[in-house]
Structure 1
Amino acid sequence: MLWFLAACCVPSFLLSYFGTAALRRLAPRWGLIDQPAARKVHVTPTPLGGGLAIFASFLVTVGAAQALAWLILSTDISLPGLPPELRVHLPGVLYRSQQVWAIIAAGTLLAVMGLIDDFKGLPWQPRLAVQLGIAVALVAGGVRATVFVDAPWIGAIVTVGWIVVLINAFNFLDNMDALSSGIALIASVLFAAVMLTCVAEPRWLVGGALLVLAGSLGGFLCHNRPPAKIFMGDSGSTFIGLVLATVTVLGTFYDESVAGQHVMLAPLFILAVPLYDFTSVMIIRVSERRSPFHPDKSHFSHRLVELGLDRPYAVLTVHLATLTTGLGALLLYRAAGWTEALILVAQLLCVLAIVAILETVGRRRNGTDPGSNG
């Protein structure tokens, strides 16, 4: 397992680290600069485009792994250090390669669109239309959740919604240094742990892809930790949202006989905080008769700052809340049935209730809550 972890994480980490360092110098020459504004928290112009390093490191590492698997199987060579239990899964890796490359192709389209948006800004309507088209195409290609019901169309609709929501959730979260990328790193590691240790038969392809993403995010975070030297921009946030959405669908929902139907809740545990933040922000904007995609400071992280936390501590609080709910997913796979699972659900709801209380107090402290006297 340690060999597998190193093989997945180290190459993508190094590629992302040095790629991000290069983009820090190149982005200003290309005009990729995020200027301070009223709705933003940074006060100095900061390079954009770090998401390109995340995307490129993920693409190169996954591509190299696929090429190596093909080489081993086609030539029957013996690779020193390759565990026998992993070698038997190589045909499955190649069998799923079509879906993997469909996800990467969709991610490429999102990264390009995000880069254009970083340069000159795009209206939310065409961006949402492209996201919906990508989600429908991926579902039609077999990337879909079963949600343990007989009607395939229900799983298809759920998957389309899941993909679009996560793409936008991680884009919305990219509002403070290391926030979105840090949450994505936590989610990637937790999902990988589930896929490699919590199921009867480790899912090497899904777990490996998540570890590659974790390595890519780790390399980027070395430059994005407060005070950030570079932002990932829409090209990165939408890409990681897509990868997490699609890979978790393939890994968590693909086999109905994994450990009972309650395991379908695992992605909701790991991504509870970003999903809550996305939902609450959308409700606030719609209730105030504003565009749901118009950026503002309605996020949980902003509320924590309004309560008096410094930004790095606000980000750390959101990270710890994500980790707290996510650890429940590891226990979910060990729950014997729905009784134990519902106890974990109650714990999850308690954490989200704490988040809601802090968020409400933050809004009232700032005088923006409709029920406040401010």
Structure 2
Amino acid sequence: MENIIFTRNVKGVLEQALENFIPENIFILADTGSNKYCLPLVNLEKIKVENKIVIGEGETHKSPESVLYIWKILSDRGAKRNAVLVNIGGGLVTDIGGFAASCFKRGIKCINIPTTLLSQVDASVGGKTGMNFNGLKNEIGTFSMPEKVIIDVSFLKTLSPRQILSGFAEMLKHALLAGGEHFEAVFSIVPEQIEESRWIGMIEESVKVKYAVVEADPQETGIRKALNFGHTVGHAIESVAIEQGVELYHGDAVAYGMLVELYLSTEKMGFDSGLYEKISQHIRQIYPPYMPLVPEEDLYKLMLHDKKNEQKGVNFTLLRQPGEFSIDNYCSREEIMKALQVLSSQ
């Protein structure tokens, strides 16, 4: 994890990372929110005002139009192959900025400064980039590792409780995949009760879980698929919310997705049903109630578009127990529909 830096001095670390770049070749990407609340914490004199790129907030801006806008400014400002794009913001910014950088002039460097809990523990780590397309979440993207990821928990002060919960869902996922003491520790807490001094250690432990899986399978041909636990269903729910203009946080969708995929795990992998009930109760206490957006059949059709599907049906990562996962499990329409109905009925 040498390219991931945990700090309380983001400005100093970034200044050092940019020492070898001339100002004309340093570009910064933010959305309207991170531009207002987070950029002042960085405040680098070396970055030219004309080289700052600001896009809109929200999933509707994780779009081809935003990518074209980023490329246009890079091109108009004469960005060279040895330029660097500094992405400051949540997962939308690090995902779309990483994608734009990976394609511009066949690839320029990028540095991710994740400012949300979600992006700190998930989106900014692992080299996945992308944008939404044709109503589907992250339909277009690349694998492209950032030059550095700088994680500073000071940014968490700028977040609402709902945004903290969104990132915490990924921490719950990592805990389920890791098992052991990490599982027990994460599932014993409620995010709003965590003291600020504890966040950096918890974030680092969560990142370690993801990084170990990514390092073993950087191109997602094998066990990295485990990191999609909760996302096969979660992305379908999220795609519907985007299409309908409903405000739904990524973590909400993933939390609901984990409940569905844990239920499938009890049915197909022998995951302990009593433990499933305890986990389900804990998640439902933390997250808002699941409100079905569309009939289960519509969610199933969206799942058929999931990138992990390599044969007929829908491909899931399932758990035998916390810390013991199984990839490439194809579930039938009937099994999925039953699990979705359980989610809706509780």
The verdict on a shared fold, with TM-score over 0.5 as the criterion, is no
Q: Taking CA–CA contacts closer than 8 Å with sequence separation of 6 or more, which of the two structures ends up with the larger relative contact order?
A: 1
The TM-score normalised by the length of structure 1 is: 0.31
The TM-score normalised by the length of structure 2 is: 0.32
